[in-house]
Amino acid sequence: MTARRDIEAITQRIRQRSKAGREAYLGRIAEASGRSANRAVLGCGNLAHGFAVCSPSEKIALGGDRVPNLGIITSYNDMLSAHQPFETFPALIKEAAREAGGIAQVAGGVPAMCDGVTQGQPGMELSLFSRDVIAMAAAIGLSHNMFDAAVFLGVCDKIVPGLVIGALTFGHLPAVFIPAGPMTTGLANDEKAKVRQLYAEGKVGRAELLEAESKSYHGPGTCTFYGTANSNQMLMEIMGLHTPGASFVNPGTPLREALTREAAKRALAITALGNAYTPVGRMIDERSIVNGVVGLHATGGSTNHTIHLIAMAAAGGISLTWQDISDLSEAVPLLARVYPNGLADVNHFHAAGGLGFLIRELLDEGLLHEDVQTVWGEGLRPYAVEARLGDDGGVVREAAPLKSGDEKVLAPVSQAFQATGGLKVLGGNLGHAVIKTSAVKPERRVIEAPAKVFDSQQALNDAFKAGTLTGDFIAVVRFQGPKANGMPELHKLTTVLGILQDRGQRVALVTDGRMSGASGKVPAAIHVTPEAVEDGPIARIHDGDVIRLDADAGTLEVLVPGTEFALRRTADADLIGNEFGFGRELFAGFRQLVGRADHGAAAFGNA
């Protein structure tokens, strides 16, 4: 009962804090609802341009405003495994729309970059900013005012948060998110990680490493570990933006196709032209956002969402803070063990009962708001199901199993893996930071050791190769925040620090940068804010300063006398090398405008 009361109290706190912003937002979408979902407001020339390539019957229908028109925003490209399946989705959606008496048009495309391709490369410095570009690209696609609802085709790290921001900016329109699903299981993630460590130690060559990586990332669909991409899919379902049971069905299967068709028809059914009008801006409220955070904690999801959820909420006029996320972690048990929090992948999680089981468990314990609106209708209980393929080729749903298929992967609340969630916010004289605790062994969650300070991840890697990373230490990697260089993920440091930890050294990381959603076993205080380039305390740390990272107590401190520490000059770093090449010069304005990590790190003003 205490956890239920805490979740309700935190929700009420968010609601009160957001009151003015939320009212202003709802006023804007109410005004937009009165102007749109009615193509009669468009001039004849506007309409002619908008349906020039449509069939004669479609032109008549669109001109007379007699049928709903569905806008498709797609992140398709055929290089990236997660987004390649979307190639065929527009045709399926258009056919389903016709069957439902509507029309569908591809409204626009958005970029989809892969953090797996860009890890440790210059392109990673565009990654976080790509979220805001995606939101703006979605807005451009929907700005033609031709649509009564929209479907969003996206999966991976920045794509889904960007699409959510875009959808909420057009909050007067219903919005349904359609996933592509995870690739089938390949080489086990822990086996892949072992080969990476052997390669870093010079014990295997590039050929062996490439073979292992290729066996892991081997076909269409999302990577199978529980990083940001699959955390995205969980969020979309638990927040009611997917149809029930849609998240983790593999691409290229009859069920995946049936779910796509069904989602298109559902989007048409909830427009203002029907009787179930569900504008996404009213649908997603404080309760939906809290449900998303609860799901993140219960599954040990990606630390990236401590940034993205704040920006997503802000797009709907809702003020979410790191303190809210941290407090919710204390009320929510960890129910899933999916790599890097365990050995299983998302296919094993889905087979064990998946989101249907998890949602049912959380609902029964009062840890989720049941009284929400979703794209499926009223209440979250209809999501406590498994989707199956019916005899007629359509989707049927049955209640999620009462017992987990594998309690080492997916546990009931009564046998939770830990009493609290997988993420925690740290505070102290170095500012605030986020740590993912779900993959860190309890005996490694507190470390007190001298600092080794680096101004780039390459400098740390060079020190490793030189053999100078000896003894216990806390690596401080700074000038990696959003204003400095776009806040790249520093996932490659996981391998290096993991090797040292496996050798028996006690190590940790403190950085104003990000880590991949796949990172975990090394304690890492990330997203440190204020960042170094804004004269944050992290810029005053010297080599040898003792730092104490206590994930249990939620503290991050440099153990230097306060007066001495305050009088130190902040370090400078030469960032000229981060300003040009691989498109980075085009994002100078973003680096100047971007907000702090704990404010959502957005380059536009709503966060």
Q: How far apart are CA 12 and CA 602, in angstroms?
A: 25
Quote the tokens at residue 167. Answer: 């959808």
Q: To which H or E segment does residue 164 belong?
A: helix 159-169
User: What does residue 24 show for φ and ψ, rounded to 5 degrees?
Assistant: -65, -40
**DSSP codes joined into one string, 68-109:** -EEEEEE---SSSTTTGGGGGHHHHHHHHHHHTT-EEEEEEE
Closest CA to 456 of 545, 576, 560: 576
44 is in an annotated binding site: no
DSSP category for residue 475: E
User: Which residues, 6+ apart, have CB-to-CB distance to 202 below 8 Å?
Assistant: none
User: Which residues, 6+ apart, have CB-to-CB distance to 429 below 8 Å?
Assistant: 537, 557, 558, 562, 565
530: preceding bond cis by omega (within 30 degrees): yes
Tracing tokens 């064990």 back to the chain, one arrives at 352
Q: What's the burial of 31, exposed, middle or buried (CB within 10 Å: 0-12/13-18/19+)?
A: exposed
- Sheet hosting strand 175-178, strand order edge to edge: 103-109, 69-74, 149-153, 175-178
Q: To which H or E segment does residue 527 belong?
A: strand 524-529
Tracing tokens 């810029």 back to the chain, one arrives at 539
Compute the 3-state secondary structure of the chain and give helix, strand, coil in percent, each to the nearest 5: 45, 15, 40
Q: To which H or E segment does residue 256 belong?
A: helix 254-269
223 is in an annotated binding site: yes
User: What does residue 231 show for φ and ψ, rounded to 5 degrees?
Assistant: -60, -40
β-bridge partners, 508? 474
Q: What's the burial of 65, exposed, middle or buried (CB within 10 Å: 0-12/13-18/19+)?
A: middle
Cα three-residue angle 291-296-298, rounded to 5 degrees: 90
Count CB-CB contacts under 10 A for residue 327: 17
258: left (phi over 0), alpha (psi -120 to 50) or beta: alpha
Q: How far apart are CA 575 and CA 456, in angstroms?
A: 10
With beta carbons less than 8 A apart as the criterion, state whether 280 and 25 touch.
no
User: Which residues, 6+ apart, have CB-to-CB distance to 179 below 8 Å?
Assistant: 155, 233, 236, 242, 246, 247
Q: Which amino acid is at 59?
A: K
Angle between helices 189-200 and 206-216 (to 10 degrees): 160
User: What does residue 352 show for φ and ψ, rounded to 5 degrees?
Assistant: -75, -10
**DSSP codes joined into one string, 108-163:** EE-----HHHHTTSGGGGGHHHHHHHHHHHHHHHHTT---SEEEEE--STTHHHHH
With beta carbons less than 8 A apart as the criterion, state whether 598 and 319 touch.
no
State the binding site for [4Fe-4S] cluster: 156, 223
Residues making up the annotated binding site are: 156, 223
